[in-house]
């Protein structure tokens, strides 16, 4: 399959109606401590997406009621992008790399957020990826296509890495995501020599356990950070918003590549987080993404911290 990369990227971004300066959380981080570990959320800005990308096919009347309760528009959504920074006195670990300059004008603000946290890109020792979508991966390259985190080691789930590296992915992923499949391998080429790989249940760094959270992408991962008996879960896009995902977790999401598996993963994570009372950080959740899950019958509620 022959691909004009510029044409695909331009058409994709134009279709999303990306616009600079729309929405987005404050770049200032929300800080929490787990005994010897400090965890900070950093804003990379926000996305601008058509509502159908998330809500298409859902029952409109109950959907409208949920969106009204959360003051969310049906036709266009502006999900924030919250990266997670973990510092333990030795390592400065970034979970995901943000969008970088090439994806969407309203995103790609990570360097400014790092400065607010007292760091530069060269201070990052490790970058850990939840998955390979543009707003999580493309930020590894700067404006000059050089590695932004020049001193970092990179950690990627093996299943996810293999999926985006497979030449057949571009033909199977669907027209709306072709740009994702074109852009991912180029970034992966840039980090390949410094990248190591992990699987479900593996301690990838001291106090950081990887958990399979497949569905949003074929190899999406979540990460449990533990220190001194306290825990926090970095869930990436496995729980994709603070409204429908909590009130109707079994509804399929158009943003998930495998909607059925994504719903199963979402329900499992929400149940675990509520039962075990573990704090969480969601990449697209409000208020910097840090909060807790409360059970409400068969549904859930996100409470910001």
- pLDDT digits 0-9 by tens, 187-201: 999 999 999 999 999
Distance from C-alpha of 96 to C-alpha of 44, rounded to nearest angstrom: 10
What average pLDDT score do residues 29-41 get?
91
> What is residue 167's predicted lDDT score, i.e. its pLDDT?
96
> What is residue 87's predicted lDDT score, i.e. its pLDDT?
97
DSSP 228: T
Query: pTM of the entire structure?
Result: 0.91
Both tokens of 88, joined, read 């333990």
Residue 239 has pLDDT above 60, yes or no: yes
Sequence-ordered list of residues with C-beta below 8 angstroms from that of 268, at least 6 positions apart, any chain: none
- Reported as a pLDDT band with limits 50, 70 and 90, residue 305 is confident
Helix (H) or strand (E) holding 183: helix 178-191
Residue 264 has pLDDT above 90, yes or no: yes
Q: What is the CA radius of gyration of the chain?
A: 18
What average pLDDT score do residues 15-43 get?
68
Distance from C-alpha of 51 to C-alpha of 209, rounded to nearest angstrom: 34
Residue 7 has pLDDT above 50, yes or no: no
Q: Are 158 and 202 a contacting pair, CB within 8 Å?
A: no
Residue 21 has pLDDT above 60, yes or no: no
> What is residue 179's predicted lDDT score, i.e. its pLDDT?
96
Query: How many alpha carbons fall within 13 Å on the CB side of residue 7?
Result: 4
Residue 142 has pLDDT above 90, yes or no: yes
Q: Which of 10-19, 85-94, 133-142, 227-236 has the lowest mean pLDDT?
A: 10-19
The answer to whether the Cα torsion of 139, 145, 148, 154 is positive or negative is positive
> What is residue 28's predicted lDDT score, i.e. its pLDDT?
57
Distance from C-alpha of 271 to C-alpha of 275, rounded to nearest angstrom: 6
Domains plus CATH for the chain? 5-304 (3.60.15.10)
- Reported as a pLDDT band with limits 50, 70 and 90, residue 26 is low
* Percent of the chain residues past pLDDT 70, beyond the cut: 91
Q: Which of 9-23, 83-97, 243-257, 286-300 has the lowest mean pLDDT?
A: 9-23
Helix (H) or strand (E) holding 181: helix 178-191
Three-state SS annotation for 2-62: CCCHHHHHHHHHHHHCCCCCCCCCCCCCCEEEECCEEEEEEEEEECCEECHHHHCCCCHHH
- pLDDT digits 0-9 by tens, 119-130: 999 999 999 999
The CA-CA-CA angle for residues 224, 229, 235, to 5°, reads: 15
Q: Scanning the structure block, which residue is given the tokens 């932004």? A: 148
Q: Scanning the structure block, which residue is given the tokens 């009204």? A: 68
What average pLDDT score do residues 168-190 get?
97
What average pLDDT score do residues 28-40 get?
88
Query: How many alpha carbons fall within 13 Å on the CB side of residue 236?
Result: 35
> What is residue 30's predicted lDDT score, i.e. its pLDDT?
84
Tally Cβ neighbours within 10 Å of residue 265: 24
- Reported as a pLDDT band with limits 50, 70 and 90, residue 25 is very low
Q: Which residue has the higher pLDDT, 22 or 80?
A: 80
Give the residue from 279, 282, 165 showing the smallest Cα distance to 213: 282
What average pLDDT score do residues 37-64 get?
96
Mean per-residue pLDDT of the chain:
91
Distance from C-alpha of 146 to C-alpha of 70, rounded to nearest angstrom: 40
What average pLDDT score do residues 63-91 get?
97
């Amino acid at each position: 399959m022959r691909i004009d990369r510029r044409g695909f990227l331009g058409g994709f971004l134009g279709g999303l109606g990306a616009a600079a300066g729309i929405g987005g959380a404050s770049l200032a981080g929300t800080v929490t401590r787990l005994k010897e570990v400090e965890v900070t959320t950093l804003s990379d800005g926000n996305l601008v997406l058509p509502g159908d990308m998330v809500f298409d096919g859902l029952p409109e009347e109950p959907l409208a009621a949920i969106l009204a309760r959360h003051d969310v528009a049906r036709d266009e959504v502006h999900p924030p992008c919250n990266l997670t920074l973990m510092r333990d006195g030795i390592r400065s670990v970034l979970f995901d790399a943000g969008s970088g300059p090439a994806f969407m004008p309203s995103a790609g603000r990570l360097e400014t957020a790092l400065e607010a946290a007292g760091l530069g890109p060269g201070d990052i020792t490790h970058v850990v990826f939840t998955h390979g979508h543009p707003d999580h991966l493309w930020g590894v390259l700067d404006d000059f296509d050089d590695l932004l985190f020049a001193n970092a080691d990179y950690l990627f789930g093996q299943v996810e890495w293999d999926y985006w590296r497979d030449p057949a992915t571009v033909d199977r992923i669907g027209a709306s995501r072709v740009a994702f499949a074109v852009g991912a391998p180029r970034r992966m080429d840039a980090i390949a020599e410094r990248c190591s790989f992990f699987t479900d249940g593996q301690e990838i760094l001291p106090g950081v356990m990887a958990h399979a959270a497949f569905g949003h992408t074929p190899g999406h991962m979540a990460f449990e950070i533990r220190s001194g008996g306290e825990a926090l879960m970095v869930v990436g896009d496995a729980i994709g918003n603070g409204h429908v995902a909590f009130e109707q977790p079994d509804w399929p999401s158009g943003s998930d590549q495998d909607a059925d598996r994504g719903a199963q993963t979402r329900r499992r994570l929400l149940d675990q987080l509520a039962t075990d009372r573990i704090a969480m950080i969601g990449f697209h959740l409000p208020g910097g993404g840090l909060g807790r899950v409360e059970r409400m019958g068969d549904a859930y509620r996100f409470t910001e911290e």
